[in-house]
Structures are given as structure tokens and as C-alpha cells.
Structure 1
Amino acid sequence: MDTLINVVLPLSLAIIMFGLGIGLTIADFARVLKHPRAFAAGAIAQVIVLPTVAFVIVLVFNLPSALAAGIMILSFCPGGVTSNVVSKWARADVALSVSLTAVISLLSLVTIPVMTAWAVTYFMGENAPDISIAALTLAVFAITTVPVCLGVFVRHFATGFATQVEPVLSKMSSALFILIVIAAVASNWALFTENLATLGPSLIALNLVLLGFGFVIARLFLLDWHQTKTIAVETGIQNGTLGIALGTLIANQPDGFMSPLTLPSAIYGVTMYIVVVPFVLWFRRSKGGM
């Protein structure tokens, strides 16, 4: 378990983020300037609305402090590769999804450490682990920002190689994520069984409400149907692997087990698809004439 937590987990997240970067081009970052209204809608939904909704959900379901903090950590994570894939399934504006993921992922270098430190302290009080914002920023930079930038660099200077390895990285990311989810649940099995009746529904409710809010925000910004679907997906889908990694980094468990802070992100990796699949099917059929 020590090897899984200290080696496999950060390495797998780095691979996932490198896979994200290798699918990006410089134009993906520049695109936000061409569609500022769509980007503003996505940024507001992810950076402001998403954590606010998560905070309300946590209070409504009255979850234990560590699980509440874990859900908040999840809410601070950007969409990642998963949101891009779901956008493609939903026949949404994939280019917008990629651009949002790229910029918000880099912005998270600032938002995640500060907001995570606040949430863990707020919900766990005296039981909260000591958090150094500077150290957490450095860790987020090392396991997210650096791999993304390296991926963009490889894509720009070795496009043929990037195109070849991207599908392999995608499959590796999926396999590693499944392994990490199983490990996180196994490490917290007693806590999982004790709180499944509230944790599962709270995560499903979070997903449903966020998808709905994303849809409404996009409509308020007068976006077209494809952009609306993208904003809904980007608001409703979070990077569960990053949530697990952050929970592990913050807790720094000496016994080699994953912290309870990781459990919400792990369970979310399962419940997310329960909620998203019906939405994707509806998005694929609907023409947006409403």
C-alpha cells in the first residue's frame, strides 16, 4: 500500500495530466480570447458556483467532517480528460471543453491550495492536519502543471509522436484510475460502509445539481446549444484522481493507508457515470430547440 500511495498515485496522476497536455495545442489556450463569453460562463461555473453548491450539499447531508472536507476538495478540482471525453460523447463543443480544461487546470495551481486549506480547516477544526499552502502549491505544480506543460511541449514539437502515444496514455490513465479508486475504498472500507447511505446520495445530488446549474448558466450567457452542453459537462465533471491525490497529500498518513479525505473522490469515480450517462444520451438526441 505504501508503494501505491507514494509512487503509483502521484505517477498515475502525472500520466493523466501529461495525457491531457499532449492533447492540447497553443491554439486551445488562445481560443478563450476568441470566445470570452463562453469561457466566462465556464470559469464562473467551475470556480465559484461549483464549490458553493458543494458546500450547500455537504451541509444538507450533514456528513462527517473528513468526508465533508473531501467533497469540498473534489469540488475544487477541474474537469480533466474525463470532461473532454464526455463532451465528445454528448456531441458538445469539444474544442471549448478542451480550452476550458486547459486554462482552469492551470488556474487551479492558485485556487486549489488556498481553497483546500480553508475547507479542511473549516470542516475538521482541531482534527485538521497542518497544511502549508506553499508546500501544497508546490505539490500541485509538480503533479499537475508540470506534466500538462510537458505534454503541450511534446505536442508542439513532436506532433507525430504525440498522436501515436495519446491513445495509449488514455488507456493507461483509465486502468490506473480504477486501481486507485479500489485502493481508496479498500483503505477506508469501514468508513465507506458506515456512510454509504449518505455519501452516495450526496455525490449523486452534487452531480445532478451541478449539471443543472451549468446548463442554466450557459443559457443565461446566451450560448448556443453545443456550448451549453459543454458548460454543463464541465461544471458537472471533476477530476477524481486529483481529488484522491490531494486528500492523500494533505493527510500524510504514516500507516500507508489512504485518508478518509480521499473517499468522496473515489466513490465519485463510480457515481459520476450513473448520473452522466442519462444526460449524455439526452444531449445526443436533443437538438436544443427549447
Structure 2
Amino acid sequence: MISIFQLLIPLLAFVLMFIVGTGLSIRDFQLVASKPRSFAGILFIQITVIPGIALLLCQFSGLPQPIQIGILLISICPAGAVSNTYTRLAYGNAALSVALTGIASLIALISMPVLAALLISSKLDLGASSFYLKVALQLALFLCLPVCLGMLVRHKKTDWVNKNNRRFDQISIVGIIAIILAALFSHLELLKTTGLALLGAALIFTLLMMGLGLLTAKILKLEPRDGKTIMIEFPVRNLAIAALISISVLQATDYLLFAAVFALVQGGIMTMVIISSRYSTLKQSKIGGNYC
């Protein structure tokens, strides 16, 4: 199974990060420049507080090491592109979500190797400097390069990109589902013995990230629509990049098991958020229509 992962995961990560790049434009960077304090605060919390919470969860939970590494790995990843889809469906600020996902992905080229060396290499007794270089190389090839290529394609072929946006969303979702299924079916025995622990950790981590998103929005005094966007953005991590580091650097698939269960739990919760948001919007529109 590891050989199949080694072949497909880097390719899948490249494609998914290319799609992230096609969503970025000059307008997104202008949006960041127009609200530097808010964006800086949001990105800083993603880079520092989220991994910090993951580390505390690992230290006090007594979870098996593969699950702990999985939690730490997913926590240092940037937001995943599927957060943009969740945000649109929940009537959040899609432009803000796209900008955050894209900028966070570029910053991850610097932040992820540092965090990986600090948090993960020590738990696995790996050399921090060599581990840093391996992670940085993988991210340069399969995160930074495809994002930049996607931005270039968007700049040169804007109409084509806009025409295929829905298809890109579908590819992203199919790719994530493929990673989840592969991780689950390759570790059925481990899943049987640690299933409840995985579910509990995934649920707690998801709810903590959503709460952190709402708290961040309140501290930064964001509008309710933007607050909803941050609440969605924080728990949705980049599963493809987590899979890439697990397979290409750590050379193990069991660390992906938490990421897979986490994605399933998170998807269920986000579905409830979407249904609630759409119902609330529909109810308000009916009240407004009756009032008129």
C-alpha cells in the first residue's frame, strides 16, 4: 500500500494545490492589504495557537503515538481548499475564505518545516535539521510550485478558470475522499482498536478549532459573516499536504488515520453548519417578505 501512496499522493497534492492557486488573484492580495491587522491576526493564530492546542491535546490525552503524530501533523497544515466550498454553501464570505486559504498555503512553505521540526521530529527522535530540509523540499515542490502555477494559469486564462471553478471544486472533493478511503482501508485493524479514541480526539479538536475561530473573530471585531468564515476555516486543514508529509517524509501511512477520521467528523459538523446557515437565511428572507 505504501508504494501506491508514494505514487499517487504527491500527484494528488500537486493537483489540489494547483486548484488552490487558480483561486488566487491580485484582488485577493489587495483584500489582504486592505485589512492587514485582521489578516495578520488570523494567520498568526493559525500558525501558532492551533498547533499549540494540538500539542496540549496530545500531552494530556494519553493517545497512542500514531494518533498524536496525526494530530500534530494536521494542525501545522494550512487550511484546505474544501473550506472555500463549505463557506460558499454556508453563505459565508467566500472571497475572504479563498484569500485566507491561498495566503496561508504560501506562508506554510516557511511555517510548516519549522513547526514540523519543533513538534514532530522530537517525538519520533528524528534529526530536526534534516527533517526540516526534507519537509521544506516537499512543500517547495508540491505546495509552492503548483500554487504559483495555478496563479499563473488564472492570470493568463482567467475565463477558462472561471468557467471550470465548479469542476475544480468537484476534483478537490473527490481527491479528499480518495485520501480518506485509502487511509481508512489500509489500517482497518488499527481503526478497530483505536476507533473510539480517534473519534473522540477528532470531535474535540474540531470543536476547539471552531470555538477558536469564533473567539478570533470576536477579538478582531469581525462582521458576523466573516466570523462564520473563520469558524469554518480554522478546523478545515489541508489533508493532501498532511498525506504528502506522512508518505514522502515520515514514510508511514498510519499517521494519516487521524487525518481521515478528522475529515469525516469535520465534514459531518460542517454539513450541520451549512444546513443551519441556509435554514436561517431562508427563514429571515421569509420574514422579510412577509414584512414587506
The alignment yields a C-alpha RMSD, in angstroms, of 2.1
1:249 Cα offset (Å): 1.7
> Alignment partner of 2:255: what SS?
helix
Task: Give the Cα–Cα distance (whole angstroms) in 1 for the partners of residues 190 and 74 of structure 2.
Answer: 18
Question: What's 1:176 paired with?
Answer: 175
Structure 1 residue ranges, 4+ long, deviating more than 6 angstroms after superposition: none
Question: What's 1:255 paired with?
Answer: none
Question: What's 2:141 paired with?
Answer: 142
Cα 1:181–1:45 change in 2 (3 A) is same
Task: Give the Cα–Cα distance (whole angstroms) in 1 for the partners of residues 131 and 143 of structure 2.
Answer: 18
1:38 Cα offset (Å): 2.5
* C-alpha contact (below 8 Å) 2:117/2:128 kept by paired residues: no
Q: Which amino acid aligns with 2:33?
A: L
Task: Give the Cα–Cα distance (whole angstroms) in 1 for the partners of residues 202 and 130 of structure 2.
Answer: 25
Task: Give the Cα–Cα distance (whole angstroms) in 2 for the partners of residues 169 and 206 of structure 1.
Answer: 28
User: Which structure 1 residue ranges, 5 or more long, are not aligned?
Assistant: 253-257
Cα 1:170–1:277 change in 2 (3 A) is closer
Question: What's 1:192 paired with?
Answer: 191
Q: Which amino acid aligns with 1:80?
A: G
Cα 1:167–1:89 change in 2 (3 A) is closer
Task: Give the Cα–Cα distance (whole angstroms) in 1 for the partners of residues 2 and 162 of structure 2.
Answer: 34
Deviation by residue 1:163-188 (Cα, 9 ceiling, x = unmatched): 23333333223223222222112222
Task: Give the Cα–Cα distance (whole angstroms) in 1 for the partners of residues 153 and 161 of structure 2.
Answer: 6
Question: What's 2:274 paired with?
Answer: 280
Task: Give the Cα–Cα distance (whole angstroms) in 2 for the partners of residues 30 and 100 of structure 1.
Answer: 12
Task: Give the Cα–Cα distance (whole angstroms) in 2 for the partners of residues 283 and 141 of structure 1.
Answer: 37
Question: What's 2:204 paired with?
Answer: 205
Task: Give the Cα–Cα distance (whole angstroms) in 2 for the partners of residues 37 and 224 of structure 1.
Answer: 14
Cα 1:170–1:2 change in 2 (3 A) is same
Cα 1:40–1:286 change in 2 (3 A) is farther
Pairwise mapping of residues 14-25 of structure 1 onto structure 2 (< 5 A)? 14-25=14-25
Task: Give the Cα–Cα distance (whole angstroms) in 2 for the partners of residues 194 and 121 of structure 1.
Answer: 26
Cα 1:283–1:48 change in 2 (3 A) is farther
Task: Give the Cα–Cα distance (whole angstroms) in 2 for the partners of residues 284 and 210 of structure 1.
Answer: 22
Question: What's 1:221 paired with?
Answer: 220
Cα 1:178–1:131 change in 2 (3 A) is farther
Question: What's 2:81 paired with?
Answer: 81
1:39 Cα offset (Å): 0.8
Cα 1:283–1:53 change in 2 (3 A) is farther
1:3 Cα offset (Å): 5.1
Deviation by residue 1:206-232 (Cα, 9 ceiling, x = unmatched): 001110111011111111111111111
> Alignment partner of 1:16: what SS?
helix
Deviation by residue 1:71-108 (Cα, 9 ceiling, x = unmatched): 11101111121111111122111111111111111000
Question: What's 2:233 paired with?
Answer: 234
Q: Which amino acid aligns with 2:266?
A: M
1:149 Cα offset (Å): 0.7
> Alignment partner of 2:196: what SS?
helix
1:286 Cα offset (Å): 5.3
Question: What's 1:165 paired with?
Answer: 164
Deviation by residue 1:39-69 (Cα, 9 ceiling, x = unmatched): 1332133112211121222233211122201
1:237 Cα offset (Å): 1.2
Question: What's 1:63 paired with?
Answer: 63
Question: What's 2:289 paired with?
Answer: none
* C-alpha contact (below 8 Å) 2:199/2:261 kept by paired residues: yes
1:129 Cα offset (Å): 10
**TM-score, scaled to structure 2:** 0.89
Structure 1 position 46 matched with structure 2 position 46: yes
Cα 1:214–1:261 change in 2 (3 A) is same
**TM-score, scaled to structure 1:** 0.89
Task: Give the Cα–Cα distance (whole angstroms) in 2 for the partners of residues 286 and 123 of structure 1.
Answer: 45
Cα 1:132–1:170 change in 2 (3 A) is same
* C-alpha contact (below 8 Å) 1:57/1:205 kept by paired residues: no
1:131 Cα offset (Å): 4.7
User: Which structure 2 residue ranges, 5 or more long, are not aligned?
Assistant: 282-292
How many corresponding residue pairs? 281
Question: What's 2:254 paired with?
Answer: 260
* C-alpha contact (below 8 Å) 2:2/2:253 kept by paired residues: no
